[in-house]
């Protein structure tokens, strides 16, 4: 499979990245080279192989629903780029 500059633009939009024209061109070339290498995986027949999402034999890790202390709002807001009355402030979503 080969990807075009339009594919790169589409994926950048999905990833919320704004790429400059030269970045788009560089990534198109580099991603094609990387994906061509990934095609190597098709040499293997995996039709009867189960996927591994992670290696531990853990399924549905449950815990008791006990209340614990949460982080105080003032501390959480310490790193907020913009804040008002203990809430994250963002530009208007609906214009």
- Nearest approach in angstroms of CB 17 to other proteins is 5
CA distances from 12 to 8, 37, 40 (A): 6, 21, 25
Q: Which of 2, 18, 21, 22 binds other proteins (CB under 8 A)?
A: 18
What are the b/e assignments for 11-30, b being 16+ CB within 10 Å?
Answer: eeeeeeeebeeeeeeebbee
**List of residues contacting other proteins (CB under 8 A):** 1, 3, 7-8, 11-12, 14-19, 23, 27, 30-31, 33-35, 37-38, 40-44, 46, 49-56, 58, 61, 63, 71, 75-76, 78-82, 88, 90-93, 95
């Amino acid at each position: 499979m080969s990807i075009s500059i339009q594919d790169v633009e589409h994926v950048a939009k999905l990833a919320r990245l704004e790429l400059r024209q030269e970045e788009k061109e560089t990534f198109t070339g580099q991603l094609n080279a990387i994906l061509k290498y990934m095609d190597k995986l098709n040499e293997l027949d995996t039709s009867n192989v189960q996927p591994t999402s992670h290696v531990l034999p853990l399924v549905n890790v449950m815990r008791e629903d006990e209340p614990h202390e949460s982080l105080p709002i003032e501390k959480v807001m310490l790193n907020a780029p913009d804040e008002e009355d203990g809430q994250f402030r963002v530009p208007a979503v609906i214009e």
